């Protein structure tokens, strides 16, 4: 997944919200385009979906938003400042991403640990047709690899489809798709989740109350994600849907397939973002060319400034991510399609507009551009940590180790983003670290720590 700002690489979204880190710069309002040549360039970079944009061009973009007259002058001044500010505020942006990722992981781990439903095996998704209940190890490995191939090809097809839609400006279709998938995600998954949580804690709730609660939750969510809403609420909703999606993945992906899929997805992410013909990269570039924000529903943005001009492109952006997953899938298991849709959605961007630094003209307090991270990234990080919590016998040690590994990977990715100033894939480094740490902690550290603890030795 690409972390990046603004560009809508929502294609990947359905399943994998590719975590691309994008610079959070939102495309400047067209009216300011002229004066913002510099910022555009910066934005283009920011828009790369995949890249995690540190608040780099915020100044430029923000400047663009501001009053037009002083813009060109400010532009150049701002550019220099931006460079410094980018790195200076780098730490702040890292933290701005740490917090939501941590929250998402905490939600997923807490649910896994307490609610039994998500660790029971109740069948598999249509996207992983091969079962893993085979007698021999070789057969199981083969099946998981085949599952991975199926899943990845589905993701590729969806992503390409989304990019094509975006290229040919079928915004309505993309919009409708995204709306439909977020609808299903918000209502259906929340209903199931709530049901399971209530069952676990043996709390009774009558249907009318349930209906009202879910209806409110879903309606507010739809408004927040696809239209306007307070930033915190929007972020909270995006975190929640990522967590729900991750939970669905954890439940329905068989063991070995899950790990192989995680590895394959990070490789795919790497290629899709960095190769010149990669779909995500094309998506980001197209969005940047058109100076449109990437679909808000697919990307998480750490900061946002709503401007009137931004509203429209944002809504357009939101559409695509959902489209990736077909409502047609509905026919099958309910859970299947929504999950996919979810992933697509997650991939899409979070609110596109990133806060733009206020230009000197306004003499307002500086807002930094936030960094954008694709929702798919959230989902896969949480899947990794959730699987570690669910299946590792070393329990909390392994979970903690994976958590730290993922955070460090995110740090490094953001650092690279600051250095390269392009959309970057956020998945590979973190997932690699996470996988390494998971397997090594589970097999090597756990016996060591257990023996130490039983003798009460301390190192």
- In the list 46, 71, 94, 335, the residue contacting another protein (rule: CB under 8 A) is 94
- Pattern of binders to another protein over 392-411, x per CB under 8 A? --xxxx--xx--xx-xx--x
Other beta carbons within 10 angstroms of residue 1's beta carbon come to 39
- Residue 5 C-beta: closest distance to another protein, Å: 19
Exposure pattern of 191-205 as b/e (b: 16+ CB <10 Å)? bbbeebeeeeeeeee
Of the candidates 228, 194, 242, 246, which has an alpha carbon nearest to the alpha carbon of residue 390? 246
Strand partners for 373: 21, 300
**Contact present, 20 and 1 (Cβ < 8 Å):** yes
Strands (E), 337-400: 371-374
Residue closer to another protein (CB basis): 88 or 167: 88
Other beta carbons within 10 angstroms of residue 77's beta carbon come to 14
End-to-end CA distance of the chain: 38
- In the list 80, 88, 116, 205, the residue contacting another protein (rule: CB under 8 A) is 88
Residue closer to another protein (CB basis): 346 or 441: 441
Part in contact with another protein (CB under 8 A); list of ranges 13-21, 93-101, 333-341, 364-372: 93-101
Residue closer to another protein (CB basis): 213 or 445: 445
CA distance 183 to 205: 23
Token pair listed for 5: 């700002």
- Residue 65 C-beta: closest distance to another protein, Å: 24
Residues 6+ apart with CB under 8 A from 88: none
Q: Does residue 420 touch another protein according to CB under 8 A?
A: no
- Residue 148 C-beta: closest distance to another protein, Å: 27
- Residue 112 C-beta: closest distance to another protein, Å: 13
Residue closer to another protein (CB basis): 84 or 289: 84
SS3 category, 360? coil
Residues 6+ apart with CB under 8 A from 399: 109, 385, 388, 389, 392
SS3 category, 23? strand
- Residue 457 C-beta: closest distance to another protein, Å: 5
For CA atoms 436, 442, 446, 448, the dihedral sign is negative
Residue closer to another protein (CB basis): 229 or 434: 434
- Residue 378 C-beta: closest distance to another protein, Å: 18
**Contact present, 321 and 13 (Cβ < 8 Å):** yes
- Pattern of binders to another protein over 45-84, x per CB under 8 A? ---------------------------------------x
CA distance 166 to 189: 27
Q: Which of 9, 314, 326, 377 is catalytic?
A: 377
**Contact present, 307 and 283 (Cβ < 8 Å):** no
Q: Which of 9, 269, 314, 326 is catalytic?
A: 269
Residue closer to another protein (CB basis): 223 or 445: 445
Active site residue 377: yes
Residue closer to another protein (CB basis): 29 or 96: 96
Part in contact with another protein (CB under 8 A); list of ranges 23-31, 49-57, 89-97, 145-153: 89-97
Rule CB under 8 A: which of 430-459 touch another protein? 437, 440-441, 443-445, 447-449, 451-453, 455-459
- In the list 34, 91, 205, 230, the residue contacting another protein (rule: CB under 8 A) is 91
Rule CB under 8 A: which of 127-186 touch another protein? none
Strand partners for 3: 20
CA distance 145 to 128: 10
- Residue 7 C-beta: closest distance to another protein, Å: 26
CA distance 345 to 453: 44
Active site residue 326: no
CA distance 377 to 246: 10
Rule CB under 8 A: which of 328-387 touch another protein? none
Residue closer to another protein (CB basis): 48 or 93: 93
Catalytic residues, by residue number, are 269, 377
Residues lying near another protein in the complex (CB under 8 A) are found at 84, 87-88, 91-92, 94-95, 98, 394-397, 400-401, 404-405, 407-408, 411, 437, 440-441, 443-445, 447-449, 451-453, 455-459
């Amino acid at each position: 997944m690409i972390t990046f700002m603004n560009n809508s690489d929502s294609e990947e979204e359905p399943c994998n919200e590719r975590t691309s880190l994008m610079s959070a710069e939102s495309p400047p309002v067209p009216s300011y385009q002229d004066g913002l040549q510099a910022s555009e360039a910066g934005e283009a970079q920011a828009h790369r979906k995949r890249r995690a944009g540190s608040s780099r061009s915020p100044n430029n973009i923000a400047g663009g938003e501001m009053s037009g007259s002083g813009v060109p002058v400010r532009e150049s001044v701002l550019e220099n400042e931006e460079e410094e500010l980018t790195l200076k505020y780098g730490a702040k942006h890292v933290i701005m991403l740490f917090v939501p990722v941590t929250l998402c992981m905490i939600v997923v781990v807490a649910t896994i640990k307490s609610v039994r439903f998500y660790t029971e095996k109740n069948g598999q998704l249509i996207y992983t047709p091969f079962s893993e209940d085979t007698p021999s190890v070789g057969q199981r490995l083969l099946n998981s690899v085949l599952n991975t191939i199926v899943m990845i090809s589905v993701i590729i097809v969806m992503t390409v489809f989304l990019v094509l839609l975006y290229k040919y400006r079928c915004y309505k279709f993309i919009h409708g798709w995204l709306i439909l998938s977020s609808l299903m995600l918000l209502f259906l998954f929340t209903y199931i989740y709530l049901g399971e949580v209530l069952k676990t804690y043996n709390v009774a709730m009558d249907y009318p109350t349930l209906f009202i609660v879910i209806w409110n939750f879903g309606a507010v969510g739809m408004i927040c994600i696809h239209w306007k809403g307070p930033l915190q609420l929007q972020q909270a909703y995006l975190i929640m849907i990522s967590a729900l999606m991750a939970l669905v993945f954890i439940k329905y992906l068989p063991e070995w397939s899950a790990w192989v899929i995680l590895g394959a997805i990070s490789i795919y992410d790497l290629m899709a973002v960095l190769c010149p013909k990669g779909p995500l990269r094309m998506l980001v570039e197209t969005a940047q060319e058109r100076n449109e924000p990437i679909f808000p529903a697919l990307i998480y943005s750490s900061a946002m400034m709503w401007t009137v001009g931004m509203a429209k492109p944002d809504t357009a952006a939101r559409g695509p991510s959902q489209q990736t997953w077909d409502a047609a899938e509905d026919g099958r298991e309910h859970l299947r399609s929504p999950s996919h849709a979810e992933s697509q959605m997650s991939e899409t961007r979070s609110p596109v507009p990133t806060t733009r630094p206020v230009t000197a003209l306004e003499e307002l307090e500086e807002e930094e551009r936030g960094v954008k991270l694709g929702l798919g990234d959230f989902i896969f990080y949480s899947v990794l940590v959730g699987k570690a919590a669910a299946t590792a016998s070393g329990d909390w040690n392994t979970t903690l180790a994976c958590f730290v590994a993922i955070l460090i990977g995110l740090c490094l990715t953001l650092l690279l983003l600051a250095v390269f100033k392009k959309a970057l894939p956020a998945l590979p480094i973190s997932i690699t670290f996470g996988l390494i740490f998971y397997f090594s902690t589970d097999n090597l550290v756990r016996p060591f720590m257990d023996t130490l603890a039983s003798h009460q030795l301390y190192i």
